[in-house]
Each structure stands twice: as C-alpha cells, then as structure tokens.
Amino acid sequence: MKKLKLTDYGLLPIYLSDLNFLQEGLQEQIEALIKPWIDYTTADSFIITGIEPNPLIENGYTSGWVVLDGKLYYVDAFISEPPLNHDNHRRWVIDENYLPTGTKIPKRTNIPVETHIVETAKVEMLPASDNTGYAFDLPRMADIIKSILNPSLYSRSGEGTNGSYKLQFLQLAHKYVHVTGTIWPKIEILSDTNLSCEIAVSVPFILDTSFKNTFNYEAVINIYGTNAMEGELNPHTVVGCHKGKITFHQSQPFTFKIYAEEISTDLYSSNCQAGISVNIILKIK
C-alpha cells in the first residue's frame, strides 16, 4: 500500500510527483482486487454492480460500475434500445470529460487548463462491422462467484469408427470448462506420416475459437500395433520402442482432430489405439 506521510510538522512542499504517487497507489489497489476475476471473463470485462433494467423506464438501466479491459468505470443511469436488426449492435465505450471545477491557470503561462478528468463508461449503438469498445452483454460478478462455488459437471463417453473417449467437463465459471479424461484414437500409421482422424464429442458446448489456449495441445504417446519387421499384431507392446506425437485441434461443434506424426520410419505401425490423457481448459461461447 502506498501512502503519503503527512505526520511531519508543516512547511513541506507538495509536488505533482506526490499527487501521482497517491493516484498510482489507489489504482494499483483497485487492479489487485479486479485481477482474480479476470480469468473468468471475456476481454477482461464484467459488471460489478448495478446496470440492471429499470422497471420504471422503458429500455432504461440503472447506474452501476463496470470493469472494461481490467479498468473500473462508473456508469450513469441510461436508456438504450436493443438493435432492431443485425445491422447494428450495442457496445460499451469509454467517455472522457472535464469538470469545470478543475479549471486552473498556471502562473507561468496564464492560459487556463483543465485538470479534473472524469472517465466513465457508456453504451453506444454502432454498425455491426464496428467493434469499437467492448461487447454489451457482460457477465456479472455475482454470477461468476456462483459458478465458481457451484460448478457444473458433465460426463461423456462414446465410441465411433475413429476411436472412443471417456471425458469429464467441469464448468469452472461463466465460459470456461476444464476437460479431463482419456481419448483413444484409431489411426493407421503405415509408411505415411501426419495422418489424422476426428472424434466428435457429444456435449452442449460450442468452443470460442478466439481462445488461444484452446489449440495446439500436444501429447507424446507410445505407438501400439503391427510390428513391421515381424508382421505380428501386438497391441500391448511398443513397436520398436518408438513414439508418436498427437496434436489436438478443437473445432465447432466440439471435435478432437488428432494428427499422428511418426517419429521414425524404420519401424512403423498400424491401428494406433493408445490411450491419450486429456487435461485442458477450454473457453466456450
């Protein structure tokens, strides 16, 4: 915590650096309180309190506080009609104003300057192609807390021509899901490399493909199957002690697309059915 020590007896000069010290200390404390909730939000934005439909005013909303891109802003009560079609959408934007109480005249220039800056958030209707600002529909802090305390758990298993899976989906908060379990792909690794298959998983989720951690989950596995030298099927041993690499690519709807890369072509295998452990966090829409 940063504090300006004021217990010394008078005649101490106060400079702009002292005021900046106080402002920075307060901002750091606010950001520290906000930071734990950022991982459960979209674009580091969520509603803290207020900003609810006003039953006394048509299309009216109450005042409140909102976090946009990790910064805290006050919101005045406002009226905002929903868009009539898909040509427009509502967005949160930052509004900057100066208070007349902050008009000062520096002694060196005698030119008035504005010093009291107030940044608030407001809602604007913009063309659908204009993504200025932040999405209007944001999670509420109360709902984030509820989802953390009472997470939803889904268990799914299935089998198809490309393999089988047994997975658990733990919804952490708002739009995040922790996926654990095992997947068993059926891949033919012969003399070719970089073969692939897709295993569709039946879950009520659609992935947010903008989430960078969704992609490129790699796991090195043992390759089981035909021993190329002897031509014998042995699903319980590693073929020539070689390993393969599996890379997951998730798509919509929820699908594991699995690429198998053979590390060595001296001994190859077929019917790769090694169990692959899954332990990833995904973001859903």
Local confidence band at 245 (pLDDT 50, 70, 90 cut-offs): very low
E strand intervals along 128-284 = 134-135, 152-160, 163-173, 176-185, 195-200, 217-227, 232-251, 255-262, 276-283
Contact 165, 157 (CB under 8 A): yes
**Domain 151-283 falls under CATH 3.30.1360:** no
Residue ranges per structural domain of the chain = 16-144, 151-283
Q: Which of 45-59, 174-188, 200-214 has the lowest mean pLDDT?
A: 200-214
pLDDT tens digits for 94-106?
A: 999 999 888 888 8
Distance CA 285, CA 174 (A): 9
Local confidence band at 62 (pLDDT 50, 70, 90 cut-offs): very high
Q: Which of 45-59, 138-152, 191-205 has the lowest mean pLDDT?
A: 191-205
Give the number of other CB atoms < 10 A from CB of residue 226. 21
pTM: 0.56
Sequence-ordered list of residues with C-beta below 8 angstroms from that of 215, at least 6 positions apart, any chain: 248, 249, 250
Residue 128 is classified by DSSP as: T
Query: Residue type for 238, please?
Result: V
| Residue 88 token pair | 């427009």
Segment 192-206 mean pLDDT: 65
pLDDT higher than 60, residue 122: yes
Distance CA 17, CA 14 (A): 8
Helix spans in the chain (H) = 16-38, 141-149
pLDDT tens digits for 27-46?
A: 999 999 998 888 778 778 99
Long-range contacts of the stretch 166-171 (C-beta < 8 A, 24+): 167/201, 167/278, 169/203, 169/205, 171/147
Distances (CA, A) of 120 to 93, 96, 98, 218, 219: 9, 7, 11, 44, 47
| DSSP code per residue over 1-61 | -------S-S-----HHHHHHHHHHHHHHHHHHHHHHHTTSBTTBEEEEE--B-TTSTTEE
CA neighbours within 13 Å on the CB side: how many for 278? Answer: 28
pLDDT higher than 90, residue 57: yes
Higher-confidence residue: 66 or 279? 66
Distance CA 43, CA 91 (A): 13
